[in-house]
Structure 1
Amino acid sequence: MPQQTQVPLLGSTIEQLRSGFADGSTTPSDALELTIAQMESVQPVINAIAATDLGAAREAAAAATRRWEQGRALGPLDGVPVTVKDSVNAVGLPWRHGTKPNNGLPEAVVDAPPTARLRDAGAVIVGKTTMPDFGMLASGVSSLYGVVRNPWDVSVTPGGSSSGAGASLAVGLTWGAIGTDIAGSVRLPAAHCGIVAIKPTQGRVPHLAPSTVRSAGPMARTVADVAELYRVVGRFDARDTLALDDENDCGKPILPLEDVSGLRVGVLSDMGYGLPVDEATLRTLRSAAEALSSGGCEVTELPAPFGPDVYDALDLLYVVRARAELESHGERGGEVLPGLVRWIEAAGPLSATDYERALGRVAADQMSFAAMQSDVDIVLSPVLPSAAFPAEHLGMNQERPLEHCCFTAWFNQTGQPAVSIPFGEDNGHPVAVQLAGPRFSDRTVLALAGWLEASRGKDLDWPLEPRSTPGHVWKEA
């Protein structure tokens, strides 16, 4: 356990932790042992951790401690405890993709690009976080891991599919995490858990296998911490054949905007389909819009972009993706989460022609969605229709468990960067808003999120002990 007189506090920022490393009041080894102690305390309650390699983590922390003591730290993340999602390969740790049929696969022998970049930066990978089967649910229910719970209120979901990442950050377990996002899977748990996450421009954060819609995304408790992670993992990796070249200013810090006047912000409160947005979420959205307007932004209302039937084609694409993975397990497919199987089977028989037609419809809809944003610089929207649903449920609509991802999923289709940031509360549950910008505007979106975060004037009262009864979300900054 830590021996220093000053120990990094659970729930602190990366900057605060790094300051302790720099002045010698604490060390990376101290931070790791604090993490391990917290994990031992909260893991039986929230079920956020899928696997650990504490021996390797301790070696990495010890090496980082020596570097800090010798004044040769590798960079801003050197010695910082982090996690990666179960679906992100990390040498020495298993890849299970949240599903029981994969239990027993050998440990990874090659790091995925985000893991490799974290190791290059000296970050200490504590372990991997839990997720639902195939990453195809926006909740934390898994045939392999069971139910993941939200530390703000253990009766409700932490969201998904980066479920364990969101829960572990809210409870102060590590200082950063890497999740993945195909329909909102870093932004949804960020919203449920009161943290910050970015789904970057497609290709900005390399990942494997290359994808036109799935992206790895940094998650942390503050915008500044997400920005630190983004600068590290958002670097070119030739293994991802869809990866973008490095940004011209990739070495520069991402600071909150000092002046937002003149930015054109379009407020999107209705997608035209899906579950209705509740009053607490609309109230939070209006509050964020008012803050931006007061700062000098030109705020306008955007019309609903879609009709009620738009989701059918997108849902079919998700079903086909899930069905392909289900069928790959052969006889072991019977071990997959039954509710997920029911959703897949409810689609009935599908042909290649059905899939091609759905692809064409979604392509047309995503172009229409992108075009409707042409007169604004930023889209402000909810992340979720409402703040919470039961931890045991597959989604807000259990028959179509990704339907409530309506505000997040289309930014995967268009490839735009989108950030989830907490801005309100509903009966002890955090409520978030989403900021999305044009492709390649990741730094601007993060900088605006930093401005909006500062405009709240208050900080979150982190549930460092998981709460069985919802309490306060905010404390004065």
Structure 2
Amino acid sequence: MTALHALSTHELLTRYEAGSLSPVEVAQDLIDHVQRWEPVLHALWAFEPEQVLAQARAAEARWRAGNARALEGVPCTIKENIATAGLPVPLGTAATVLAPAPADAPPAARLKEAGAVLLAKTTMPDWGMLSSGLSSFHALARNPWDPATNPGGSSAGAGAAAGAGYGPLHVGTDIGGSIRLPAAWCGVVGLKPSLGRVPIHPPYAGRVAGPMTRTVDDAARMMAVLSQPDVRDSMSLPFQALDWMAPARDARGLRIGLWLDAGWGLPVEPEILAAVQAAARRFEAAGAVVEPVAPFTTRTMGDGMDAFWRMRSWLDFQALPPERQQQVLPYIRTWIAKGAELGAADVFHGYSQMGAFRDAAVAATAPYDVLISPVAPVSRFPAEWAGPTNDPATAMDHIAFTVPFNMSEQPAISVPCAMSSAGAPIGLQIVGHRHDDVGVLRVARLWEQLCDPLPPPPPLRT
């Protein structure tokens, strides 16, 4: 039998409605599971079992009274940079002065309104500026497939929690790959929606919140809730009542662009290339038309974004008093130091690369229904590292396949694709046209039908 904490959202809601399962039973099973795994993974922050049980009891009462809401009693986690009322927002760094957030940010508000049970917040690196579980505030997050390896980031805890079965629903954020990269490395689904599809606060160019789940169906059910409007996001899209539960796309006639060379960044591991090429062949065998896509992004674009983000973080760093500056992760301090050397022309040129990425990505995707590619160029790296190269000079070289679609505002999803010979998950990225989030989910549903499912992570090794 499937463990209660591993049931999908659909399975939980169906059994709650039938009265064959209680949210309290699920919450207690999940708490027990987390307490076994969390001393190793360190995926969670602000985990309070009694508060979880209190929420579950309230959900149980609503089911009995016949007034259950869309996600009543379904466990979820929320990345710690998404404010929840009454809890501080550390932003992953010991340099933050902790003060309770006055209100729920939009994703947290929508999940609470839908009746989801908040298990905990999930951990992240300093300011979310690493693809790693390394943080000066949180304990080192680890990957459930192999705790000696990194879950990725910046939605590090969310990826680890989803991969380890901490319930079905998790929310991450993504400004350059921070949902899709940990989703790929932790063997789960991670959707970066179109910019503005999920209201968030504060909004920022390229920044989105989105689901990290075990299945595409769970991600779609989450999107139906997260995409509800909120006026606090000044960059949000006009609300649309989209058919998030639309069925899998028919492969016949589907036009797919196969993008295997980003044009810059780390070389892609041969096993990852082989996995993505094998995925393309499966789409073709089902009736899709697959064509190769030439490299369309450049080192100049990547270096420009690197310079712009270094300056942004340098300005945040400079605003701190000296004693708090010393609490920032040393790797981050080294990475942002170049910001002090940049002039106005450098920063403007860096900022302009957002537009260069957008134009290139939109044009490259235009001839196709979707584009498929690797998510990351590597399949694993040590848990203690700040990123796949562990070198501040090459801090962006692993995001060449993900960052263009933050800048182009296109929806992009990471779905489990294969396993490496070393037992690490490999992700497949599926990218759609701007605002076609439902279309991306439909192709992702198709891929779930075509691919061999990944095995579960190995048993916990302590």
TM-score (norm 1): 0.92
In 2, are the aligned partners of 1:387 and 1:430 still within 8 Å (CA)? yes
Q: Partners in 1 of 2:315 and 2:34 — Cα distance?
A: 35
Tell me how far 1:260 sits from its aligned partner: 2.1
* Whole-angstrom distance in 2 between the partners of 1:201 and 1:229: 15
Corresponding position of 1:65: 60
Write the deviation string for residues 197-255 of structure 1: whole angstroms up to 9, x where unpaired: 11000000000112221101111111100111111001111110111122233xx4424
Three-state SS of the structure 2 residue aligned to 1:310 is helix
The 3 A distance-change label for structure 1 pair 64 and 322 is same
Residue matched to 1:129: 122
Aligned length: 458
Contact 1:200 1:442 in 2 (8 A): yes
Quick one: distance in 2 between partners of 1:407 and 1:253? 25
Q: Name the structure 2 match of 1:203.
A: 196
Q: State the partner residue of 2:349.
A: 357
Match for 1:261: what amino acid? R
State the match for 2:142 in structure 1: 149
What is the match of residue 393 of structure 1? 385
Instruction: Compute the displacement of 1:98 (Å).
Output: 0.2
Match of 2:221 among 222, 228, 239: 228
CA distance in 1, matches of 2:265, 2:257: 20
SS at match of 2:5: coil
Shift of 1:467: 4.5
2: CA distance, partners of 1:63 / 1:348: 52
Structure 1 counterpart of 2:302: 311
Q: Contact 2:84–2:103 (CA<8 Å) still a contact in 1?
A: yes
8 Å contact 1:46–1:466 — kept in the other structure? Answer: no
C-alpha distance in 1 between matches for 2:430 and 2:373: 7
Pairwise CA distance, 1:296: 1.3
Show the 5 A alignment for 1:3-402.
Answer: 8-75=3-70, 77-102=71-96, 104-249=97-242, 252-331=243-322, 332-397=324-389, 398-399=391-392, 400-402=394-396
Structure 2 partner of 1:435: 430
Aligned in 2, Cα 1:258/1:301: closer, same or farther, shift over 3 Å?
Answer: closer
Return closer, same or farther for 1:28/1:431 CA change in 2, 3 Å cut-off: same
* 1:153-212 C-alpha deviation (Å, 9 max, x unpaired): 011100000000010111111211111000010101100000001100000000011222
Q: In the TM superposition, what is the alpha-carbon distance from 1:321 to its structure 2 partner? A: 2.2
> Which runs of no fewer than 5 residues in structure 2 stay unpaired?
none
1:306 Cα offset (Å): 2.8
State the alpha-carbon separation in 2 of the partners of residues 53 and 243 from structure 1: 32
Between 198-207 and 253-262, report the one with greater CA deviation.
253-262
- Deviation by residue 1:73-126 (Cα, 9 ceiling, x = unmatched): 112x11011010010001132210000011x51222200000000011000111
Contact 1:165 1:219 in 2 (8 A): yes
SS in 1 for 2:265: coil
2-structure distance, mates of 1:457, 1:368: 33
- Report percent identity of matched pairs: 37
> Which secondary structure does the structure 1 equivalent of 2:231 belong to?
coil
The residue that corresponds to 2:412 in the other structure is 418
Q: Distance in 1 between matches of 2:49 and 2:106?
A: 21
Contact 1:191 1:432 in 2 (8 A): yes
1:361: Cα distance to partner?
3.5
Quick one: distance in 1 between partners of 2:454 and 2:139?
A: 31
Query: Residue by residue, what CA displacement relative to the aligned partner does 1:363-416 show, whole Å, maximum 9, x if unpaired?
Result: 234312321222111110000001101111111222232320110011000000
Return the offset for 1:438: 0.6
Aligned residue in 1 for 2:446:
451
Q: Look up the equivalent residue of 2:53 and give its one-letter code.
A: R
Q: Deviations over 1:274-320 (max 9, x none)?
A: 10001110111011111111121110000011344432111112212
8 Å contact 2:308–2:351 — kept in the other structure? yes
Pair 1:258–1:306, CA change in 2 (3 A) = closer
State the SS of the aligned residue for 1:84: strand
Secondary structure of the structure 1 residue equivalent to 2:6: coil
- Matched residue of 1:385: which SS? coil
Show CA shifts across 1:54-73 (max 9, x none): 44432221111012223321
Match of 1:403 in 2: 397
1 CA distance for matches of 2:375 and 2:305? 18
Moved more, 13-22 or 54-63: 54-63
SS in 1 for 2:291: strand
Q: Which moved more, 1:436-445 or 1:340-349?
A: 340-349
Structure 1 runs (4+) greater than 4 angstroms displaced = none
Q: 1:7 to 1:428 in 2, by over 3 A?
A: closer
Is the CA contact 1:274–1:308 (under 8 Å) kept in the aligned structure 2?
Answer: yes
Q: Read off the aligned partner of 2:116 and give its amino acid letter.
A: A
User: What letter is aligned with 2:317?
Assistant: L
Distance in 2 between residues matched to 1:16 and 1:459, nearest whole Å: 20
Offset of 1:460 from its aligned partner? Answer: 3.2
Q: Which runs of 5+ in 1 are unaligned?
A: 1-5, 469-477
Question: Does the C-alpha gap of structure 1 residues 277 and 374 become closer, same or farther in structure 2, counting only changes over 3 Å?
Answer: same
RMSD: 1.7
Q: What is the CA-CA distance between 1:20 and the residue it aligns to?
A: 2.3
CA distance in 2, matches of 1:259, 1:88: 36
Distance 1:72 1:460, change over 3 A: farther
How much has 1:31 moved relative to structure 2?
1.3
Secondary structure of 1:422's counterpart equals strand
Report Cα offsets for 1:6-33 as digits up to 9, x if no partner.
9953322111222221222221111111
1:140, 1:147 within 8 Å by CA — same for their partners in 2? yes
CA contact (8 A) 1:165 1:177 kept: yes
Q: Separation in 2 of the partners of 1:401 and 1:214?
A: 19
Structure 1 residue 459, shift from structure 2 partner:
4.5
